[in-house]
Structure 1
Amino acid sequence: MSAALAGVSVLVTGGSGFVGHRIVQMLLEEEDDLGELRIMDKTLSAPLLHICERFQRKVKLLEGDVRDTEFLTRACRGVDLVIHTAAIIDPTGHISQETMMSINLHGTERLLECCVQSNVWFFIYTSSIEAVGPNTSADPIVNGHEELVYESTLGFCYGESKQLAERAVLRANGRELQNGGSLVTCSLRPTYIFGEGSQFLQLHLDQALQNGGVFHRISKKEALANPVYVGNVAWAHVTAARAMKDPATARKIAGHVYYVCDDTPHMSYSDLNHALGRELGLGVERRLAMPYPLLYLLASIMEVASFLLRPFFRFVPPLTRHLLILLNTTFTFSYKKAHRDMGYKPRYSWEVARRLTSAWMASILPQRREELKIR
Structure 2
Amino acid sequence: MCLPCIAEGGLAKILISHYSATMAKDLVYLVTGGSGFVGEHIVKFLHKEEYVKEVKIFNMNKGGFIEDLKGGTENIIKACLASDVPYLLYTSSISAVGPNTNLDPMVGITEDTIYHGEHLLSYGKTKAQAERLALLANGQQMNNGNKLTTCIIRPGSIYGEKAQQILNRYQSAKYQNNRINYIQPDHAGQNYEYVGNVAWMHVLAARQMQLNSCVLGGQVYYSYDDTPCKLLKDLDQELFTELDPDIQIGSQIPYWKMWLIIMIYSSIRFILKPFWKLKPFITLQILKLLNVAFYCDTDKAFRHFGYKPYYSWVESKQRTCQWLKETTEDLRKTKKNS
TM-score range, shorter chain: 0.7 to 0.9
CA shift at 1:300, angstroms? 5.2
**Candidates 146, 149, 152, aligned match of 1:184:** 149
| One-letter amino acid of the structure 2 residue matched with residue 331 of structure 1 | F
Structure 2 Cα separation of the partners of residues 306 and 106 of structure 1? 33
> d(CA) in 1 for partners of 2:37 and 2:334?
22
- Cα contact 2:107–2:296 (8 A) shared by 1: yes
Q: What corresponds to 1:79 in structure 2?
A: none
* Per-residue deviation, 1:308: 6.4
Q: Secondary structure at the match of 1:124?
A: strand
Distance 1:5 1:334 in 2: 34
Cα 1:185–1:209, aligned 2, differ >3 Å: closer, same or farther?
same
> Structure 1 counterpart of 2:40, which letter?
H
Structure 2: runs of 5+ lacking an equivalent:
6-21
Query: 2:174 aligned to 203, 206, 209, which one?
Result: 209
- The answer on whether the counterparts of 1:221 and 1:270 sit within 8 Å (CA) in structure 2 is no
Look up the match of 2:125: 160
Residue of 73, 77, 81 corresponding to 1:112: 77
Equivalent residue of 1:37, what SS? Answer: strand
Superposed, 1:88-103 pairs within 5 Å as 99-103=64-68
Give 1:23 deviation, angstroms.
0.2
After TM superposition, give the deviation of residue 368 of structure 1 in Å: 4.2
Match of 1:351 among 302, 307, 314: 314
Please list the CA deviations of residues 240-270 of structure 1 after superposition, one character each: whole Å capped at 9, or x if unmatched. Answer: 0111011xx3111211111001111110112
1:18 equivalent in alignment to 2:33:
no
Secondary structure of the residue aligned to 2:282 is coil
Q: Residue 192 of structure 1: CA displacement?
A: 0.6
CA-CA distance at 1:155 after TM superposition = 3.1
- Alignment partner, residue 332 of structure 1: 295
Deviates more, 1:253-262 or 1:157-166: 157-166
Q: Secondary structure of 1:216's match?
A: strand
Retained in 2: the 8 A contact 1:138–1:325? yes
Residue 13 of structure 1 contacts residue 40 of structure 1 at CA under 8 Å; is this kept in 2? yes
1:288 aligned residue (218, 227, 252) = 252
Counterparts of 1:18-57 in structure 2, within 5 Å, are: 18-29=37-48, 31-42=49-60
* Cα distance in 1 for residues equivalent to 2:165 and 2:92: 18
- How far 1:367 moved relative to its partner? 3.7
Distance 2:199 2:307 in 1: 11
Task: Provide closer, same or farther for how the CA distance between residues 224 and 175 of structure 1 changes in structure 2, counting only shifts above 3 A.
Answer: same
Name the SS of the counterpart of 1:123 in structure 2. strand
- Which residue, 116, 120, 133 being the options, matches 2:98? 133
CA distance in 1, matches of 2:175, 2:288: 25
What is the aligned residue count? 316
Structure 1 residue 233: Cα displacement: 0.3
Equivalent runs, 1:59-74 vs 2, <5 Å = 65=61
- The question of whether the paired residues in 2 share the 8 Å contact of 1:221 and 1:271 is answered with no
1:194 aligned partner, one-letter code: Y
Amino acid at match of 1:258: Y
Correspondent of 2:136 among 171, 185, 188: 171
Cα offset, 1:311, TM superposition: 8.1
Structure 1 pair 33/230, CA: closer, same or farther in 2 (3 Å)?
Answer: same
- Is the 8 Å Cα contact of residues 208 and 282 (structure 1) preserved in structure 2? no
What SS is found at the alignment partner of 1:151?
Answer: coil
* Residue in structure 2 matched with residue 48 of structure 1 by the alignment: none
* Paired residues of 1:123 and 1:183 also in contact (CA < 8 A): yes
CA drift at 1:35: 2.2
Task: From the superposition, tell whether residues 318 and 311 of structure 1 become closer, same or farther in structure 2 (CA, over 3 Å).
Answer: closer
Contact 1:132 1:152 in 2 (8 A): no
C-alpha separation in 2, matches of 1:357 and 1:213: 19
Separation in 1, partners of 2:101, 2:75: 30
Does the CA-based 8 Å contact 1:271-1:284 persist in structure 2? no
Stretch moving more, 250-259 or 211-220: 211-220
Contact 2:67 2:126 in 1 (8 A): no
Report deviation, 1:147.
1.4
Determine what percentage of the aligned residue pairs are the same residue.
36
Q: CA RMSD in A?
A: 2.6
The counterpart of 1:250, out of the listed 213, 216, 219, is: 213
Q: What amino acid is aligned across from residue 241 of structure 1 in structure 2?
A: A
Output the CA distance in 2 between the equivalents of 1:138 and 1:162: 18
TM-score norm. by structure 2 comes to 0.85
Q: How does 1:199-278 map to 2 (within 5 A)?
A: 199-246=164-211, 249-278=212-241
Q: Which residue of 2 aligns with 1:72?
A: none
Superposition pairs for residues 294-309 of structure 1, below 5 Å? 294-296=257-259, 298-299=261-262, 305=267, 309=271
Distance 2:35 2:270 in 1: 37
1:60-110, Cα deviation, whole Å (9 max, x unpaired):
xxxxx4xxxxxxxxxxxxxxxxxxxxxx5xxxxxx7xxx134422211111
